[in-house]
Amino acid sequence: MSDVKKLYIKTYGCQMNVYDSERMAEVMGGSGYVTTDSPDDADMILLNTCHIREKAAEKVYSELGRFKPLKAAKPDLKIGVAGCVAQAEGEEIMARQPLVDLVVGPQSYHRLPQLEAKARAGGKALDTDFPEEDKFEKLKDRPKAQRGPTAFLTVQEGCDKFCAFCVVPYTRGAEVSRPVDRILAEARDLVERGVREITLLGQNVNAYHGAGPDGDWTLAQLIWALDKVDGLERIRFTTSHPNDMSDDLIAAHGECSKLMPYLHLPVQSGSNKILKRMNRSHTAESYLKLIERIREARPDILMSGDFIVGFPEETEADFQDTMELIRAVNYGQAFSFKYSTRPGTPAAERAQVDDAEASDRLTRLQALITQQQRAVQDSMVGREVQVLFEKPGRLDGQMVGKSEYLHAVHVADAQAARGDIARVRIVESGPNSLAGVLA
């Protein structure tokens, strides 16, 4: 028997989980694991979970149940739960699902090899600490494998904002920024491995304040340093909080050509009463004013957002305020959710909105968003955009990539390779993507 073991990781939730799963795969490479796309031949299964909304955690439990026959057929199979459900529920997971051998919170991924060894020795391994040491430093020892043209890079983690509905400050912990030199080194390494677009990640990315050569740097300073990295063509960042949109960051949107004209800036609600109860510490007016300033700096920027409907005590009038704000902004993209109670958060104690009413509001809001999204997408027809090609399309000779505005663009007869950037004239707008021809 060979010593190579197979690791299957299933990732739920946000882009930071995608990044974390890559790091976990790399650190387990040191313990003799290679990744596999199927749980069937795995020696270890890791679910990298999301706790942001109810259904996310429920999906994890039902997925775990499905592994029962696999474990029965292969008693050596180790099953682990990582991510925010692991952090929030800890030992409860093992109690609820005895199949689980290992539970690891997001701040302890660098300790995964030891946890795996403990599980392999027949024990149950749990680590949901918030350790002092720098997780990222311990995770960075990785093979120089070639990468696709786009990559995520975590620059900041955790959140101190404590929005009344949100588990992130509890599962990801206090806000921490990585030092500038480590981020630049990681970015250069990614570029050497074929990456042309980097999305800087953080739960509160624009609150970034990492140690630089001359004191703490802002996110804008970091973006300007990345702008100078040869071979890196595009920079994006997500997710931002309206209150941390500093002047230098707004200005960078107008001045830094590598910074893409797309901004995800969640507002959650358009009602000042609800915003206050959400502990958002901004108003609908201040948000609209901010967007006006961002559009002054970069008129063609595509705005994206997040919305929660049915937050405790939200009335139809509050909901109409949200619809009004959406009309005022004109979003090119938005994500919307029905409020879901997160145990341990302040809003969990409050009177809930009737579920059918909340569902109805969500349907109406999504209809409006879809309409705006489609109109913004349709307005691209006839325009020229720059497309970074990511993969071949389904048709022969076709390539698929993303425009500056993050629209998926299909180009027939593209004569391009993955990682190429080409000028493309948009000729058609479909339900989920654009079609174009080389300009």
CB of 432 to ligand SF4, least distance (A): 26
Question: Least distance to ligand 5AD from the beta carbon of 13, Å?
Answer: 9
273 φ, ψ (degrees, to nearest 5): -60, -50
What are the strands of the beta sheet with 78-82, ordered from one edge? Answer: 33-35, 5-11, 44-49, 78-82, 102-104, 125-127
> Min. distance of Cβ 429 from ligand SF4 in angstroms?
31
Asked whether position 179 contacts ligand SF4 by CB under 6 A, the answer is no
The residue to which tokens 């990539």 are assigned: 401
Size of the residue set binding ligand SF4 (CB under 6 A): 10
Q: Which amino acid is at 277?
A: R
**Which of the choices ligand SF4, ligand 5AD, none does residue 189 contact, using the CB cut-off of 5 to 8 A by kind?**
none
Q: Is 388 in the site for ligand SF4 (CB under 6 A)?
A: no
Strand 408-411 to 399-402 pairing: antiparallel
How far apart, in whole angstroms, are the C-alpha atoms of residue 242 and residue 299? 18
CA dihedral sign of residues 406, 411, 415, 418: positive
Cβ proximity to ligand 5AD, 35 vs 340, nearer residue: 340
In the complex, the smallest distance separating the C-beta of residue 406 from ligand SF4, rounded to whole angstroms, is 20
Q: What single letter denotes the amino acid at residue 379? A: S
53 near ligand SF4, rule: CB under 6 A: no
Write the Ramachandran bin of 158: left for phi over 0, alpha for psi from -120 to 50, otherwise beta: left
Q: Applying CB under 6 A, does 219 fall inside the site for ligand SF4?
A: no
**305: its two tokens:** 């957002």
Which of ligand 5AD, ligand SF4, none has residue 159 at its interface (CB below 5 to 8 Å by kind)? ligand SF4
The answer to whether the CB of 347 falls within 8 A of the CB of 278 is: yes
- Go through the chain and tell me how many residues it has: 439
207 binds ligand SF4 (CB under 6 A): no
Span of 166-174, 245-253, 286-294, 366-374 interacting with ligand SF4 by CB under 6 A: 166-174
Whole-Å CA distances, 304 to 94, 268, 333, 366: 38, 11, 5, 13
Taking CB under 6 A as the rule, does residue 241 contact ligand SF4?
yes
Q: Which is nearer to ligand SF4, 239 or 403 (CB)?
A: 239
Question: Does residue 162 touch ligand SF4 according to CB under 6 A?
Answer: yes
Residue numbering of the annotated binding site: 14, 50, 84, 159, 163, 166
Write out the residues near ligand 5AD by the rule CB under 6 A: 52-53, 165-166, 266, 268, 306, 308, 337, 339-340, 342
| Binding site listing for [4Fe-4S] cluster | 14, 50, 84, 159, 163, 166
Distance of CA 361 to the CA centre of its chain: 25
With CB cut-offs between 5 and 8 Å by kind, which of ligand 5AD, ligand SF4, none does residue 339 bind?
A: ligand 5AD
Closer Cβ to ligand 5AD, 236 or 342, answer by number: 342
Residue 130 in the binding site for ligand SF4 (CB under 6 A)? no
Rank residues 130 and 162 by Cβ distance to ligand SF4 and give the closer one: 162
Cα 166 to Cα 181: distance, rounded to the nearest angstrom: 31
136 binds, among ligand 5AD, ligand SF4, none (CB under 5 to 8 A by kind): none
CA angle 208, 214, 220 (to 5 degrees): 35
User: How do beta strands 176-177 and 156-157 pair?
Assistant: antiparallel
